[in-house]
Structure 1
Amino acid sequence: MALSMMVSETVSSMPNSKEEMLAAIQNIAETDIRNMAVAVDVDGIYPGDNMRKLAQAGAFAQHITGYGYNPQQNNLLDTVQAMATAGVECGNTSFLMWLQNAFAWYLLQSDNTALRDELLGKTISGEIMGTSGMSNPVKAMDGIEKFKLKGQRVDGGYIVSGILPYVSNLGDGHYMGTAFEMADDPSVKKMAVFHINGDDIQIAQNTHFIALEGSGTYAVKVKKAFIPDSRILAEDMPSFVKRIKPAFFLMQAGIALGQINAFINIMKDSDKSLMHVNKYLPERAETFEAELASILPGVVALMETPLESSPDYLTKVFEARLYAGEMTMRAANAALMHEGAKGYIKGSTVDRRFRESIFVAIVTPATKHLRKAIADLAA
């Protein structure tokens, strides 16, 4: 199917304005996402139906040129606001939204137009689920880990083997953007789309987490899988990662913002009965509201040029992402202090959100990774 036809069909079923898009997502958040949040957290249910509803509301389209209510622009901010709107109800879901958005971003930025035409429209519409398996490659590029996947050249493509320990938004039939280095020449690295086919690319649940159990997080076992040339996202993975990295990092602000707003709501609700003592706490709902009002304009400005690559711009992106993780954990702590002992009860209003908040600071790029990256740029 021609790209123009896919664009037309996908866009025609989505909201026609930012206001319509956010209203649709808010409705999904306050009904479907809210009603499923406990099952996602406690039972580890993957919210696939909710992801498809979010797709139809335009949640995965706004940062992709050719799609969304304004197809001439990359509205990265609107994508982040969509994630934050859903994330007020469920951090697990906003995390999955980031992964779907990241996969779409990889496709958009790839020079492989045939691959983009094949998968991008389906990713945006929710027909397929896609994810980022770039935690290991990004950390490997920054000298933190070694590449987990190794490839060798064969006729028409590559044979790739290895294991990625933790990749989320996965299930049978899902797609993953990740990278491998050549076994005979580690200086050569490729980025490609892998299809979870249950055969030579399998997933296995090898652990359980204290939160985000419904994130579809598995180990990916790649066993001499043939990756055809047609599935290569980038022949030169390092330069491609430099291109996609700012948006990759900045979109995570949506996860943080959803969490912070949820904690602000918890603090305000707590004040209805505990204002007489909560007022003595050093960080209150208004503390975080004022802080967001102060810092968000700068972050929004960064989102306007996601393809910029200057060291000064990258430093600001890394600093913004670091701030987001640290502010989320501060807000989590403040909310728990507001609730007191009742917030320490399993299943309390704070319980799930507190556990989810920690993830914002440890998901790639983690706090320590960001601090290293900032130091490396300054060196």
Structure 2
Amino acid sequence: MKPQPLTTTAPELATWLDANAEAIDTAQDLAREILPRLGRADLFQIGVPAHEGGLDGTAVDAIEAIAGVAAHSLTAAFVFWGQRTFIEYLLQSPNEALRARWLPALLRGELAGATGLSNAMKYLSNIEPLQMNATPRLIDGAGAGWTLNGKLPWITNLRREGFLAAAAFDHSDGAPPSIFAIPHDAAGVVRSDDLDLIALRSSNTAALTVERTALDASWQITADAPAFLARVRPAFLGFQCGLSIGLARRALAAIDESSAPARAAVADEVAPLAHELDALTKRLFDGVQHGTFVSAPAALFEVRIGLAAAVDRAVRLEVVTAGGRGYLREKGGTARRTREAAFVPIVTPSIVQLKNQLAQHQRTRAA
């Protein structure tokens, strides 16, 4: 079934994003508005069970929703990805009290959920060690807890108005790494100024430092980070792939809206690219829907790499067909989409990291 565009499912949001996409990408003035607007459109509830306050559906439906937003603004879709991924962590967490306490506000977009697990996903793939540490302690003389320390240099959706950030911690006592939800107002939690990005500037992207922060088990998403990360990685990367799908679709649509001579000049390249995009999207949806990516992450890495390449080709073809008009910032969004496309290969895990992982996987299989 062909996905419904955002102009149909959430026309008010689509109009606002189209009118402000350039400002959202290049400035920070509208950063506080994105999350509540996505929440009012009920987008965070897609793929969430009704008994948890959602609209039912599947993770595939959530990917399509992220893609729908990305067709209008990659910055807004990046915020959407961070929020929906954090929601997924709570849905898959055994900590029912944590989920019951915070999920309603997250689904409404009243509280930001920041997925600070990029470092942890790289740890899972043996790319880098964990950057956060937890030391056991007694809190107020009674009840087990931990003292948390560390810094994560890049987290999206650290909304100044309030956030929970997921982060994985190594344990000094030799216990398995675990994952905590870190509240913005806990003692020792410091958010940096927004990073000086070349684009996506309204995404509330900053560094997070945790220094001698005391949290107890009520804030623990999972006590077994490796197993949990392997289970949620298909959603983490699958939702992320929605960024590529939406941006590539929009670039192809822009080509289709160009002049007849321009379309004819690239027709031999556009047709196979559109077919490839559809095939990669189907592979992604099938793997997420049937759970095959949990035990076969290399297949998911291949899809992510393929989609990044498709985005690059689609936007380059859009530049060709737009001509000089595309070089104007306020004319059709071509210039903005070239900046957005430049982000796709570097979002963690980056294409370089994934290609290295695939090469390692192939060497292991050969051995």
Question: TM class, shorter-chain normalised?
Answer: 0.7 to 0.9
Report deviation, 1:53: 2.9
Aligned to 2:24: 40
After the TM superposition, which residues 318-333 of structure 1 pair with which residues of structure 2 at under 5 Å, given as runs?
A: 318-333=301-316
The letter of the residue matching 1:225 is T
Which one of the candidate residues 341, 346, 351 is aligned to 1:362? 346
Q: TM-score, normalised by structure 1?
A: 0.85
- Cα deviation, residue 131, structure 1: 1.4
Q: Supply the distance in 2 between the matched residues of 1:327 and 1:353 (Cα, whole angstroms).
A: 13
Offset at residue 277 of structure 1 (A): 4.9
Match of 2:141 in 1: none
Match for residue 281 of structure 1? 266
Task: Out of 109-118 and 42-51, give the one that drifted further.
Answer: 42-51
Task: Provide the residue aligned with 2:281 in structure 1.
Answer: 296
1:250 paired with 2:238, answer yes
Preserved contact between residue 267 and residue 284 of structure 1 (Cα < 8 Å): no
Match of 1:195 in 2: 183
Find 2:205's aligned residue among 203, 217, 234.
Answer: 217
- Provide the rounded CA distance (Å) in 1 between the counterparts of 2:251 and 2:264: 16
Instruction: Show the counterpart of 1:89.
Output: 72
Question: CA offset at residue 347 of structure 1?
Answer: 4.8
- Asked if 1:57 corresponds to 2:38, the answer is no
Instruction: Tell me by how many angstroms 1:295 deviates.
Output: 3.3
- Amino acid in the other structure paired with 2:243: I
What letter is aligned with 1:255?
A: L
Give me the CA root mean square deviation: 2.5
CA contact (8 A) 1:160 1:225 kept: yes
Q: Distance in 2 between matches of 1:283 and 1:152?
A: 60
Verify: 1:182 aligned to 2:167, yes or no: no
% identical equivalent positions? 25
Contact 2:35/2:110, CA 8 A, preserved across alignment: no
**Counterpart-to-counterpart distance in 2, 1:372 and 1:89:** 32
Deviation string, structure 1 residues 278-308 (Cα, Å, up to 9, x no partner): 5333765444333333333322211213476
Structure 1 residues 19 and 358 mapped into 2: Cα distance closer, same or farther (>3 Å)?
Answer: closer
Shift of 1:143: 2.7
**Given that residues 149 and 213 in structure 2 are in contact (C-alpha distance below 8 angstroms), is that contact kept between their aligned partners in structure 1?**
yes
TM-score, length-scaled by structure 2: 0.88
CA contact (8 A) 1:25 1:85 kept: no
Tell me by how many angstroms 1:68 deviates.
6.8
Q: Distance in 2 between matches of 1:363 and 1:288?
A: 22
**Aligned 8 A contact 1:83 1:258 in 2:** yes
In the alignment, which residue of structure 1 is the partner of 2:196?
208
The one of 113, 131, 143 aligned to 1:130 = 113
Comparing 165-174 and 279-288, the one that deviates more: 279-288
Deviation at 1:57, TM superposition (A): 2.6
Aligned length: 354
After TM superposition, the structure 1 = structure 2 runs for residues 73-152 of structure 1, keeping only pairs within 5 Å, are 75-152=58-135
Q: Could you tell me which amino acid in structure 2 is paired with residue 220 of structure 1?
A: L
Preserved CA contact (<8 Å) 1:243 1:307: no
Q: Deviations over 1:197-243 (max 9, x none)?
A: 27411111263111111110001011111122100011111111011
- Tell me the CA shift for residue 158 of structure 1: 0.9
Task: Note the residue ranges of structure 1 that are not aligned, 5 or more in a row.
Answer: 1-17
The offset of 1:42, in angstroms, is 2.2
**1:283 touches 1:334 (CA, 8 Å); kept in 2?**
no
Selected match of 2:290 from 291, 299, 305: 305
Distance 1:22 1:38, change over 3 A: closer
Whole-angstrom distance in 2 between the partners of 1:146 and 1:69: 35
Task: Report the Cα distance in structure 2 between the residues aligned to 1:246 and 1:150, rounded to whole angstroms.
Answer: 26
The secondary structure found in structure 1 opposite 2:257 is helix
Match runs of 1:164-175 below 5 Å: 164-172=152-160, 173-175=162-164
